[in-house]
A and B are shown apart, each in its own frame.
Chain A
Amino acid sequence: GAGVSQSPSNKVTEKGKDVELRCDPISGHTALYWYRQSLGQGLEFLIYFQGNSAPDKSGLPSDRFSAERTGGSVSTLTIQRTQQEDSAVYLCASSHNSYGVEQYFGPGTRLTVT
């Protein structure tokens, strides 16, 4: 079946603008994750959704970052008032609801803030 998809694949935005990044997880996966990959910080966890539970937001770097997951499926990561340090590849992953299971990653959205 289809894997995790993300859109857009590339996004260039001006400093101070808001951006929305979209993730479509694998059908039937109850868990969804956002990670950020940047040169300075490597791969870092941002936020985790599991079913109808409250999301784990412990990795969000500031209150400019937020995410939601509608209907237990599609997720949107929103970055408000973007800064140059937000430039990175944002990766989404999904998995079944079990510990230690494989997370399936999307191809990522490359965000460039000018």
Chain B
Amino acid sequence: AQSVTQLDSQVPVFEEAPVELRCNYSSSVSVYLFWYVQYPNQGLQLLLKYLSGSTLVKGINGFEAEFNKSQTSFHLRKPSVHISDTAEYFCAVTLKGGGNKLTFGTGTQLKVEL
């Protein structure tokens, strides 16, 4: 079975500073990787995804992530955060060829401060 680990439950950061949210996964087969964002009292919105090809993936709102197969990681980065980026971020995987059900990490609460 696959699993996703987000070691940081909360990440405080000052506005305009860079941020990295960490994600590691475990799976015996190939996976697709996703980052979703959840604003308060809302559903989840896709930030970016890695299916194949270039390991550096760019998403919405200036976020990017890099797939590292050897380290089984898919860390999310943004060079300069804004107050509006305050939200919870979830890393998720689905198995290639195994249906589309998502397995999520426990989430990282990003809090951007002035």
Residues of A within 8 A of B (CB): 4, 31, 33, 35, 42-45, 48, 50, 56, 59, 91, 93, 95, 99-103, 105-108
Contact = CB atoms under 8 A, between A and B. Distances in A.
Contact of A91 (B32, B44, B97): B44
B103 A45 contact: yes
B14 to A, nearest CB: 28
Interface in B33-56: 36, 41-46, 49, 51
A107 B43 contact: yes
B90 A43 contact: yes
Contacts, number: 59
State the 3 A-B residue pairs at the shortest beta-carbon distance, nearest first: A105-B43, A43-B104, A100-B32
Contacts of B41: 107
B49 A103 contact: no
B102 interface: yes
Contact of A31 (B43, B100, B106, B107): B100
Contacts of A91: 43-44
Given A91-B44, A99-B97, A108-B43, A45 B102 contact: yes
B69 interface: no
Interface string B73-114: 000000000000000001010101101111111110000000
